[in-house]
Amino acid sequence: MTQPELVQSLYQTMHLVRRFEEKLVELYPSDKIKSPIHLSIGQEAVAAAVCAPLNQDDIISNTYRCHATHIAKGGNLNAMMAELYGKATGCAGGKAGSMHLVEIESGILGASAVVGTTIPVAAGYALALKNEAKKTGEQRVVTAMFGDGSTEEGCFAETINFAVLHKLPILFVCENNEMAIHNPIERRQAISIQERVKPYGMPMGHVTSGDVFEMHDEVTRLTESVRAGNGPAFIEIETHRWLEHVGPNNDDDAPYRNPADLKKWKENDQVARLAEMLGTEKTAEINAHVEELVAESVTFAEQSAFPTKEELYTHVYA
């Protein structure tokens, strides 16, 4: 991919995430979306960068804050919006909602609302892919997304140890927004995530700049290392959540917020930055396309039917 192509591709992904979620902000007061939504507005660069080096049949594993990577990994936008509406045409027929988005044909492993749970699950998937590669000769990779808070759960330490021990094809991505709900990281973690993880000897990255290109380069380097069979890698990407933890609102003046941080990160907005790089014309073209996609997803969701009550009893057992 040439540099201009990259700029365009990253911009398109980030802008789509941004606009999709802004649409949710707009729609939410209508109460058509009856499920907790955890938005990634402000954090779009991470998703765009992380998914860029992934193939469709690579796997991404998500937390409840999963809209951005769902989109970036290529999840069907209509099925996604329909899922948020709880419609039968949703990616999980309305059973999942925002917190459990899934689309296995796009390599999107179901998300979980219990913090940390997906980390070992992703490692288990990676174990299977390591096994598969012995037969196919092709190493698919698993990218495990999680927040800074997840790393406090015991299963994080357990999984890192296991993954290194078994040289699993997994990239651990810690999306560090320095918050778990309203609780700042320094009140939860005695030492930095970098310090904790470094001793495991995995190839590591740490992007503090918020620069989507730096994220992209680091993630690409590490993903390729994983794909080459070098075992797990780890990257921590610093970012900032602009809106409240859950829901569509700003909470700029909530006591846990540091306004200077928010200001700094907003000034560092990668969506705006890349728009500028692309120029008004190109941006307008992409934007128009994005608006269409988002509008179409809303129409699709609105026009779809709710599941029938028989659906309550389907898929309890396989």
Partner 1 sequence: MSMLSNQRLLRTVDALAEACSQEMARDDSVFLFGLDVDDHKAIQGSTAGLLEKFGPDRIFGTPLSEDAMTGVAVGAAMAGMRPIHVHIRMDFVLLAMNQLINMGAKAHYMYNGQIQVPMVVRCTIGRSWGQGAQHSQALHSMLMHVPGLKVVAPTNAYDAKGLMIAAIRDNNPVIIMEHRLLCNAEAYVPEDLYEVEIGKARIMSQGDDITILGVSHMAIESMRAAKFLKEEGISAEVIDPVSLRPLDMETIGNSVQKTGKLLVVDNGWLNCGLSAEVLASIAEQGLTGPDGQPVQVARMGFADTTCPTVRCLEDHFYPNGRTIAAKAYQMVKAQPTATWLPPEGVQPEIQEFKGPF
Ligand X SMILES: Cc1ncc(C[n+]2csc(CCOP(=O)(O)OP(=O)(O)O)c2C)c(N)n1
The alpha carbon dihedral of 36, 87, 146, 293 has a sign of negative
Task: Give the per-residue contact string, 4-43, with partner 1 (x = CB under 8 A; - = no).
Answer: ------------------------x--x--xxxx------
Helix, strand or coil, per DSSP, at residue 63: strand
- Show the CA angle centred on residue 246, arms to residues 156 and 214, nearest 5°: 60
Q: How far is the CB of 65 from Mg ion (least distance, A)?
A: 8
**Residues 196 to 235: which contact ligand X by CB under 6 A?**
none
CA 88 vs CA 4, 77, 104: distances in Å:
39, 15, 17
Given a contact cutoff of 8 angstroms between Cβ atoms, the answer to whether 210 and 272 are in contact is no
Does position 103 bind Mg ion by CB under 5 A? no
Does position 165 bind its own copies by CB under 8 A? yes
Judged by beta carbon distances under 5 to 8 A according to partner kind, the member of its own copies, ligand X, Mg ion, none in contact with residue 200 is its own copies
Q: How far is the CB of 239 from Mg ion (least distance, A)?
A: 9
**Residues 144 to 163: which contact Mg ion by CB under 5 A?**
147-149
Given a contact cutoff of 8 angstroms between Cβ atoms, the answer to whether 61 and 125 are in contact is yes
CA distance 170 to 143: 6
Judged by beta carbon distances under 5 to 8 A according to partner kind, the member of ligand X, Mg ion, partner 1, none in contact with residue 288 is none
Given a contact cutoff of 8 angstroms between Cβ atoms, the answer to whether 14 and 45 are in contact is yes
- Given the rule CB under 8 A, which of 72-80, 85-93, 154-162, 221-229 is the region that contacts its own copies? 154-162
Q: How far is the CB of 78 from partner 1 (least distance, A)?
A: 16
Residue from 14, 54, 66, 129 that binds partner 1 (CB under 8 A)?
129
Q: How far is the CB of 185 from Mg ion (least distance, A)?
A: 7
**Residues 134 to 173: which contact ligand X by CB under 6 A?**
147-150
Given a contact cutoff of 8 angstroms between Cβ atoms, the answer to whether 243 and 41 are in contact is yes
Q: How many CA atoms lie within 13 A of 222 on its CB side?
A: 28
Task: Give the per-residue contact string, 165-184, with Mg ion (x = CB under 5 A; - = no).
Answer: ------------x-x-----
Judged by beta carbon distances under 5 to 8 A according to partner kind, the member of its own copies, Mg ion, partner 1, none in contact with residue 198 is its own copies
Following CA atoms 283, 25, 88, 313 in sequence, which dihedral angle do they give, to the nearest 10 degrees? 140
CA distance 91 to 151: 29
Does position 114 bind ligand X by CB under 6 A? yes
Instruction: Please give the residue ranges that form the binding site for ligand X (CB under 6 A).
Output: 65, 113-116, 147-150, 177, 179-181, 245
